[in-house]
Amino acid sequence: MAMNESLRKAVDDLDLERRLDEFGKFAQKTYDGVRAQVGTLTHDNREKVDGWVAKATTLVDERTDGKYHDKVAKFSAALGTGLDKVAEQRPDAPAADGPAADQPAPADGATAFPAQYPSDQPGH
C-alpha cells in the first residue's frame, strides 16, 4: 500500500472530510453571530463613542493649541466611517447601498464631529 493510499484510508476511517465540513459551518455560524452582535453594540452605543471621541478631540486640541486639529479631525471622520461600516453588520440594518438613509452624506473634508476651532485661526 502506497503512502497516499494509507493517508486516504486514515482520512476515510476518521471521517475527516465530514468533520472539517461541519467545523467550517460551525465557524461560519459563529463568525456571523459575532459580527451581528458587534454591529448591534456599535449601533446601540454610537452616541457614547461619538461623545468620547469629541472629548478626546477637544482635549488634544486644548493641549496642542489646535496644532494637530486637522489630523485629529481627519482621524475622527475615518473612525466615524469605520463605525458606520461595523454598525451595518447588525441584522436589522438597512441595505448598504450608500450612506445610511437617516444620515446625510458628508461634504468633502467633513468630519463626524463638530469643529472646535475655525479653520481661519493661525496654525491650522
Q: Cell numbers of 117, please?
A: 476651532
Phi/psi region, residue 107 (left: phi>0; alpha: psi -120 to 50; beta: rest), is beta
Residues lower than pLDDT 70 in the chain: 1, 96-124
- pLDDT, residue 11, reads 79
Taking the CB of residue 77, how many other CB atoms lie within 10 A of it?
A: 16
Contact between 39 and 87 under an 8 Å Cβ cutoff? The reply is yes
- pLDDT, residue 96, reads 55
Domain extents for the chain? 23-87
- CA–CA dist 83, 53 (Å, integer): 12
- pLDDT, residue 117, reads 44
Burial of residue 40, with CB atoms counted within 10 A of its CB: 0-12 exposed, 13-18 middle, 19 or more buried: middle
